[in-house]
Amino acid sequence: MFFSKKIVTMSLESAKKIASRQAVEDYLANNTIVGIGSGSTIVYAVEKISEIVKNLNWNIKCVPTSFQAKQLIHKHNLDLTDLETNPELDICFDGADEVDENLNLIKGGGGCLLQEKIVASCAKTLVIVADYSKDSTYLGEKYKKGIPLEVVPMCYSPILKKIQKRFGGTVSLRMAQAKAGPVVTDNGNFILDWFVFDKKLDWEKINLEIIQMPGIVETGLFINMAAKAYFGLVDGSVKTRKKPELTFK
């Protein structure tokens, strides 16, 4: 049992790495402003960015989406900047908890959804890097930890009840693992995890309705934001998915 689990973990890490490196090779360009996402997969993307910058002496400036991303930028001696200095980004590399067939995403498993969405919204192109376990036909097919909702602490209980009453499912306050009490985001907010998945749900409509509730800061639903996703596969290859082209009749 232990040996089998180790093989799966190694395969996932390898898949994250090959997807990240391929995406950076395809999209990174000299003299650009780059958004740096959060999570375990983005570590490999930053490593590849650093490698290219060092070898080619490229001018790349990086905007972090979290404390973790900022530390990665410092660790690899990349140029750190922010949205105040550079409000428009050329590209953003980020991970995802799940990606559906239309490139809609669930993000926020690591608690950085607000800053991730802000940075992604400022980028001309959002590129997602992930392993094969994040590739789904519909949201909730594989990811079973709920949809993250960042909320102002004083209203987490009313929001929890409103979500359950309006849309069904169950909502829970995310609790910290290494300390007593709830998880607190980089922005000082709480996170609710909403467990409701149905193939027929209109996520774009639901996202717009939830975001209008007073007290909701942001949702982990990233709808119509990603341009392309890279999935590292078990066999060492990389699968990609592009945003569907709009057609007009």
Q: How far is CA 244 from CA 56, 104, 117, 136, in A?
A: 33, 11, 21, 16
Note if 116 is an active site residue: yes
User: Residues 98, 116, 150, 218: which is the catalytic one?
Assistant: 116
Angle at 68 between CA 23 and CA 26, to 5 degrees: 10
Distance CA 147, CA 17 (A): 25
Q: How do beta strands 79-80 and 60-64 pair?
A: parallel
| Helical packing angle, 67-75 and 42-56, nearest 10° | 30
Residue type, 148: P
For residues 116 and 113, what is the distance between their CA atoms, to the nearest angstrom? Answer: 5
**Angle value at C-alpha 245, between 239 and 246, nearest 5 degrees:** 155
Question: What amino acid positions are annotated as catalytic residues?
Answer: 116
